[in-house]
Structure 1
Amino acid sequence: MDRVMQSGGPMRAGYGAAPMNREPTNLGDILERVLDRGVVIAGDIRVNLLDIELLTIKLRLLIASVDTARELGIDWWQHDPWLSGRDRELVEENRRLRRRLSALEQEGLDA
């Protein structure tokens, strides 16, 4: 028996309660589902030469909507100076601090 009938409609045998969906799913629906729930992709890349590990790269990717990410406590884009536009402030602050340091060093040499 290939299909088992239950109240939810036709089912695939061996796949539990996953009803067969006869409606086509468009890209917008898939994208909405992915962004609503989020997707985590994780992987490791290792480069070995003669059983000697030369390089290991760990990749972690989270795809989610901004709202879903905030619910998960992820909001680094708001605090990252390069993404929030604060990089110009940091560059200017760095210049001011370098000028102050140079002035202090010059005072120390003059004394």
Structure 2
Amino acid sequence: MDRISPSGPVVRPTYGAGPANREPANLGDILERVLDRGVVIAGDIRVNLLDIELLTIKLRLLIASVETARELGIDWWEHDPYLSGRDRELVAENRRLRRRLSALEGREDADA
């Protein structure tokens, strides 16, 4: 509903958080704001059959920039071997350990 101001022109109510003459934000601006502040999305999915819980899935998603995540104390990607390129070292170490284990198990069988 329009209101008439004392000075004469029609004043239309504005809705939202900003002034009416504010330019619409583009996708880059929105993405920058989201990454700067971070967004948390949380939800639970439960599947029940006759009041028996069959499945529960808990979803937690944090969308933030690397800098914001570090400020929050989140830096798992720096230590994850599959993301840091150390996965090849782990695969090779796993093979060596399996060979040693097989050799040790073979010795125990021979002693018994």
TM-score class normalised by the smaller sequence = 0.7 to 0.9
Identical-pair percentage: 82
Please list every run of 5 or more consecutive structure 2 residues that lacks an aligned counterpart in the other structure: 4-12
Instruction: Look up the equivalent residue of 2:95 and give its one-letter code.
Output: R
**How do 1:25-40 and structure 2 match up within 5 A?**
25-40=25-40
Count of residue pairs brought into register by the alignment: 102
With the length of structure 1 as denominator, give the TM-score of the two structures.
0.78
Q: By how many angstroms is 1:108 displaced?
A: 2.6
**Matches of residues 42-61 of structure 1 in structure 2 within 5 Å?**
42-61=42-61
CA contact (8 A) 1:48 1:55 kept: yes
- What residue is the counterpart of 1:63 in the other structure? 63
Secondary structure at 2:35's aligned position in 1?
Answer: helix
1:18-51 alpha-carbon deviations (Å, 9 max, x no partner): 4435221111000000000000000000111122
What is aligned with 2:101? 101
8 Å Cα contact 1:2/1:12 also seen in 2: no
**What secondary structure, in the 3-state scheme, does the structure 1 residue paired with 2:73 have?**
coil
Runs of 4+ in structure 1 over 6 Å off: none
Letter in 2 for 1:47: V
The alpha carbon displacement at 1:60 in A equals: 0.3
Unaligned runs of 5+ in 1: 4-10
